[in-house]
Homo-oligomer: A and B are copies of this chain.
């Protein structure tokens, strides 16, 4: 890009941190200077032998380094607020793992602080940087899919039951950020209902379902599950012109576009009765050739470019805040036994 690489520190070398580290190390746009983790040995193991990247167990040491311009935070979500505020207040740009924070209130603090300090606050909504999601966004924007009829997304696995967050807060940010990214304004969510269960008595909802009513009247349904025997990552976007099926586990053929649909033509018959004529369309299926690039490398590049060019990221703190609004509303619905809760997330722009 011609810019000087951005000096970066990664905080957290646990589950996701190693991916950030690997991508910062291979990016021409960044210079990884520190990895910070309470467990120095873990950090060392991730960096491997013979690395010049420095290791810290104390964030202050990292923030004190003037060569560190930006911090990527991949720690448990309850630490996002204190670590994010510390970094922003030290004048660093911040790339935050999902969810942005553990509540709307916390998220607002982070967004406000970033604005105040004039620093970039970006959410690492990795999926938004995949070729599939970019294509879906484009197909909805240009009308290539037609009207969105419904969306159904499934993200299940035999996954990590977590102490501090439930399955909505763990897996939900992925799907909610993707929907936020690809849907145009007429499909903004206006209501949410959540159901779920904790059949093992873990103290956290492990099996959850979200039903989002969109402004257009269409429905977006989200299945999230930590107790599934198999891993599924699928999203169907049914449009009036074409239907898209994204199966993220089909490497090399993740997206399929179906020229299929139902068409309803209102007719008036001889007896003046209104009827509907239903016809079906079963055309070809196309699997577009999409590059198999690593999305996280695009995240790292977007982060660095926004810093150098003073741009707002595609997935900025405000997008993270919309995410939190929906998660909070889902929690309210869940507590009330599934009663739908209205959303005003769209004032958050």
Contact = CB atoms under 8 A, between A and B. Distances in A.
Contact of A229 (B32, B53, B218, B238): B238
A317 interface: no
B150 A207 contact: yes
Contacts of A49: 5, 25-26, 31-32
Contact of A158 (B161, B219, B262): B262
Interface string A64-90: 000000000000000000000000000
Contact of A227 (B32, B150, B197, B339): B150
Contacts of A202: 262, 264, 276, 278
A101 interface: no
A284 B276 contact: no
A126 interface: no
Interface in A24-39: 25-26, 31-32
A25 to B, nearest CB: 4
A106 to B, nearest CB: 25
Contact of A195 (B53, B193, B197, B228): B193
B209 A197 contact: no
A91 interface: no
Nearest to A148: B199
Contact of A289 (B200, B218, B282): B282
A253 interface: yes
Interface string A322-349: 0000000000000001111000000000
A201 B150 CA distance: 13
A51 B340 CA distance: 54
A177 interface: no
Interface size class, chain A: 35 or more
Given A199-B150, A202-B278, A283-B289, A229 B243 contact: yes
A338 B211 contact: yes
Q: How many copies does the complex hold?
A: 4
A50 interface: yes
Interface string A183-227: 000000000010111011111001101010000111101010111
Nearest to A337: B340
A252 interface: yes
A264 B223 CA distance: 23
Nearest to A48: B25
Contacts of A261: 158, 227
Given A52-B51, A209-B209, A339-B339, A197 B218 contact: yes
Contact of A32 (B50, B228, B289): B50
A5 B49 CA distance: 11
Given A25-B48, A53-B50, A286-B284, A217 B230 contact: no
Given A25-B50, A193-B193, A223-B221, A252 B231 contact: yes
22 contacts: A5-B49, A25-B50, A31-B50, A32-B50, A51-B52, A152-B207, A158-B262, A161-B262, A193-B338, A197-B217, A199-B217, A199-B219, A229-B238, A229-B260, A230-B258, A259-B289, A282-B289, A284-B287, A285-B286, A287-B287, A339-B339, A339-B340
Given A202-B262, A284-B286, A339-B339, 12 more contacts: A50-B52, A149-B200, A150-B225, A152-B207, A195-B219, A199-B216, A200-B262, A203-B276, A229-B236, A230-B236, A284-B288, A287-B287
